Amino acid sequence: MTKFLQKSFSVGAIISEQYRDNWERIFAKRHVAHWWVDVETTGLDPEQHEILEIALARTDDQFELVGKIASVKVLPQHIETADPESLAINRYDPEVWRREGVDLQAAKAFVEAWTKKSDPDERYTTRIAGHRVAFDLSFTRRHLDWPPHRLAGTTELCTRNWSRDALPDCSHSLKDLCERFGIDRRAGHTAADDVRCAIELAKKLAELPCDE
């Protein structure tokens, strides 16, 4: 029996050494990389309307920014189908978009390049995040084939839903929540600024007592 135990412990030590790195990687997957997205659009229907601007950012599991917020304006191909109110809200200026915007194929390349650069290693679980993130994803999936298919079915973080749970008796628009928490909206209804505000909002919500 003693020899059997000695042999078992010896084999166990070998197995432990052999698979230690694998277990460390498995347990490290508790870390989360948040991919934040915001789009500005020509209307509310992804089947009819187009993306005017998209912004992307990555944060760690404490909502600290990793790198910079990346954004690009996208040239609409069917401006005749746009909702005038949406164009006004998003400050659409044809001259600005002609000067700074890219076509849809270039926008897809921009998103793909950002994704490749921002893709975390296997120690991290990736979660898509945003304010009303389901709306943003309805457009990115339709027009940009993003996020990658490997992320299908992963849990999303929506700061609007989070705020509804944490603060049920107030407005849950990004504008009103920023006012409530003293978050400066430098250029509201631009994709990059809305991503920044959503990230700051997540930090504020994370600080709330669990029973609030």
Q: What is the CATH number of the domain that holds 71?
A: 3.30.420.10
For residue 30, the model assigns a pLDDT of 58
Kindly report, residue by residue over 94-105, the tens digit of the pLDDT: 999 999 999 999
Kindly report, residue by residue over 51-67, the tens digit of the pLDDT: 999 999 999 989 999 99
Q: Which residues are within 8 A (CB) of 31 and not within 5 positions of it... i.e. 6 or more apart?
A: 60, 61, 123, 124, 125
- Establish if 68 belongs to a structural domain: yes
The percentage of the chain sitting over the pLDDT mark of 70, rounded to a whole number, equals 84
Q: How many domains does the chain have?
A: 1
Q: What are phi and psi of 211, to 5 degrees?
A: -95, 5
For residue 188, the model assigns a pLDDT of 73
Average pLDDT, the chain: 87
More confident residue, 4 or 133: 133
Full-prediction pTM beyond 0.75? yes
For residue 189, the model assigns a pLDDT of 80
- Establish if 7 belongs to a structural domain: no
**Per-residue pLDDT at 152 exceeds 70:** yes
More confident residue, 27 or 33: 33
For residue 11, the model assigns a pLDDT of 35
Task: Identify the burial level of 118 via C-beta atoms within 10 angstroms of its C-beta, where 0-12 means exposed, 13-18 middle and 19 or more buried.
Answer: middle
130 pLDDT band, cuts 50/70/90, is very high
Q: Could you tell me the residue range of the domain that residue 88 belongs to?
A: 32-207
- Establish if 81 belongs to a structural domain: yes
For residue 17, the model assigns a pLDDT of 47
- Establish if 5 belongs to a structural domain: no
Average pLDDT over residues 176-199: 93
- Establish if 26 belongs to a structural domain: no
